[in-house]
Structures are given as structure tokens and as C-alpha cells.
Amino acid sequence: MTNSKLHKISVVTPVYQGESTLPGLAEEMAALTTEQVTPDGHRWVVAEWLLVHDHGPDRSPDVLGGLDEKFDFVRPIWLSRNFGQHPATLAGMASSTGDWIATIDEDGQHNPAELGTFLDVAMREQAQLVYANPLNPPPHGRFRNATSKCAKWLVSKALSDGAPATFQSYRLMVGEAGRSVAAYVGTGVYLDVALSWVMDRVAQAPVTLRAEGGRESGYSFRRLLAHFWRLVLTSGTRGLRLVSGLGIAFSLSGFLYAAFIIVQSIVTQSAPPGWPSTFVIILITSGAILFSLGVIAEYIGVLVGMAMGKPPYLIVTDPKDGPWQQRPQPR
């Protein structure tokens, strides 16, 4: 059975070196600008394709200009300089108009025809955000895949205040929530961390990744390391709270060990004169310093949350009237 509501999807693609891959991807996208039906019977269409030029080293601007002339659904967005993948994605999200926002890489490894699978998962689970769940290893090599998986797990389990461990650059999200994230998020914040602040229901859709179109990855080891470090720094204040916890733990350990040394020196009287008191002073002073650093870290954590633009709340429409409802919209 086909549902009557037509879901309009805005597709956002940050462009850094897409000269060789964008034309083929455009043909695939053009086939989705007419009405499609998912396996679960949901009607959808690609309403616009926002190509955000991020000043790469190739002739991507010429390709974007040609696609803009050839296809009505293509919307180039020109950034003033190179800002990086996530800021470019945010720029496209802020400029979108669809009921849903999908983010797709320029290299061709993401098949846009699988957007219907994302929509089925979102509707079935009433999810606000759906990530790709690759059924095959990403085409990056074993070392990069393994380190990427470990880094995501570390941030999700140890450092983040709620970011999922399975986030991917192939995503589908509710349009109004995605545009709100793009409006308030602070400079340099990792996109998936910002999404985790406001997305209550997150799901995964099974997809098959393709090869990267025969071009080299735009991420060197140095850039990947910087990418990971930005993820760590913006993942939340849990790392700062670890500093606070360590301060308290060392302070208590110092007092306990100091008591042990005092008792031992009284009982055995084997310690050199003045040594127990000196060691006790060092332990207590070090513990006090670490505890003070922990208190300072708590204050810094509050300031970090404010600087990153984490909102205290986000107002959205009634879910019954949102993109999950099945009734056709009034004209």
C-alpha cells in the first residue's frame, strides 16, 4: 500500500575535489527527482541537491557551474574559502528547504538510491536521525577502517555525552532539526556531536558502500588526526570531569597514604628524621592542587558547553504534524 504523503528530501554534498565524480552522481540524482516509492510504500523525491563548494584543488567550480545550467534541482553554494567538510555540510543544511535532509559524500561511495531505505527506517522507528550501517567495509583500507572504528567507540563510550558510536557521513535527518543545528552550532564543533545534542531517536539503515570513483582520498594522515582531535575536543565535558575525578582521587589517596606513613613512622621508628612529614606535605599539597584543577575544569566545562553553542532546548513541530505523519499536506 502506498502512503499519500510525499516526502521531500534535500541532499547536501560538500565539494572539495569532485571534478571526476560529480557528473556521474548527478545523473543518479536526476533519476530521483521524480516520485519514488520505498519498499514500505512511502512516496519520496529529491527536491534539491545542494553542492557546497569548499575550495578544493581541482576544477570542481567548473563542474558545479555546468551542473547548475543542466539541472534545475542543483543548487550550488559558494563558500568564501576552504572551511572543511563539516562546516561545508552545515552551510548546505542551513540553506535546505526539504522535509528531510540527507548528507552524501562527493566521491560516489554513497548510493543515493538507498535514500528510500533510510526513509523506511525513519518512518518505521519514528527516528529523527538515521545513519548508514554499512554491510561491507568502507573502501579506505584496513588500517584506516580499524582506527576509525576504535576512535568512534572511544569518543562514544568514554568522552561523549551522547554521540553514537556508529555515526557516518551518510545520514538522513528531520529537516527542521537539521536546520536548527546549522543555525546555532559553534565554530569547529564536530557535526555528529552537535546532532547528538538534540536528536532523541537515532536509528541505522543497512547500506552497501561503493568504491570512491577512482580518486585519492582528500584526507591525509595529518588531516585525519586533526579530524579526530576535533571530535575529541568537541565531544563534551566528560573529559574535563575525568580531570576533576582524578583530582579528588589523588587528594584522597594522598591523605590516606599520609596517615599510613605517620602510623608506620611511629610504630617502627625506622624512617629518617623529617622524611615522613616532608612526604606527607608533598602528598597533601599535590592532592590539593589536583583537586583545585578539577574544580577549575568543572567551570571550564560550563564555558565550553556555552562556547560550542549547545542549546538548552529546541522547539519543533508536533510529531503528529511532522514528517512522520501519513496525511497529505494541505495545499
Which of 53-57, 155-159, 192-196, 251-255 has the lowest average pLDDT?
155-159
239, amino acid identity: G
pLDDT at 114: 96
* 3-class SS of residue 124: helix
41, amino acid identity: G
Q: Cell 543548487 sits at which residue?
A: 75
Q: Is the dihedral of CA 233, 238, 241, 246 positive or negative?
A: negative
Q: Which residues contact 133 (CB under 8 A, 6 or more apart)?
A: 166, 168, 204, 205, 206, 207
H-type alpha helices, 71-141: 85-94, 115-125
pLDDT at 49: 98
Across the range 197-203, mean pLDDT stands at: 88
61-113 pLDDT, tens digit per residue, is 999 999 999 999 999 999 999 888 888 999 999 999 999 999 999 999 999 99
Which of 82-91, 277-286, 305-314 has the lowest average pLDDT?
305-314
Which of 40-54, 200-214, 298-312 has the lowest average pLDDT?
298-312
Nearest to 175 by CA among 112, 94, 104, 75: 94
Cβ neighbours, 10 Å, residue 97: 13
Q: 56 and 15 in contact (C-beta within 8 Å)?
A: yes
Q: For the chain, what is the mean pLDDT? A: 80
- Predicted TM-score (pTM) of this structure: 0.74
Integer CA distances (angstroms), 66 to 62, 71, 75, 185, in order? 6, 9, 11, 32
Query: What are residue 101's phi and psi, to 5 degrees?
Result: -120, 125
Which of 150-159, 165-174, 288-297, 315-324 has the lowest average pLDDT?
150-159
pLDDT at 213: 60
Q: Give percent of the chain with pLDDT exceeding 90.
A: 40
Say how far apart CA 318 and CA 8 lie, in whole Å: 18
Integer CA distances (angstroms), 231 to 11, 60, 209, 225, 254, in order? 24, 28, 23, 10, 34
pLDDT band at residue 43 using 50, 70 and 90 as cut-offs: very high
Which of 122-126, 203-207, 255-259, 311-315 has the lowest average pLDDT?
311-315
The better pLDDT of the pair 70, 311 is held by 70
pLDDT band at residue 229 using 50, 70 and 90 as cut-offs: low
Say how far apart CA 48 and CA 71 lie, in whole Å: 10
Nearest to 211 by CA among 123, 319, 293, 139: 139
pLDDT band at residue 275 using 50, 70 and 90 as cut-offs: low
Exposure of 136 by Cβ count < 10 A (0-12 exposed, 13-18 middle, 19+ buried)? Answer: exposed
Q: Which residues contact 169 (CB under 8 A, 6 or more apart)?
A: 85, 89, 103, 104, 105, 110
pLDDT at 205: 95
Across the range 34-50, mean pLDDT stands at: 96
52-63 pLDDT, tens digit per residue, is 999 888 999 999
136-164 pLDDT, tens digit per residue, is 876 555 655 566 666 656 666 555 555 55
Which of 14-18, 192-196, 234-238 has the lowest average pLDDT?
234-238
Cβ neighbours, 10 Å, residue 91: 20
Across the range 316-329, mean pLDDT stands at: 63
pLDDT at 70: 96
CA atoms within 13 A on the CB side of 303: 5
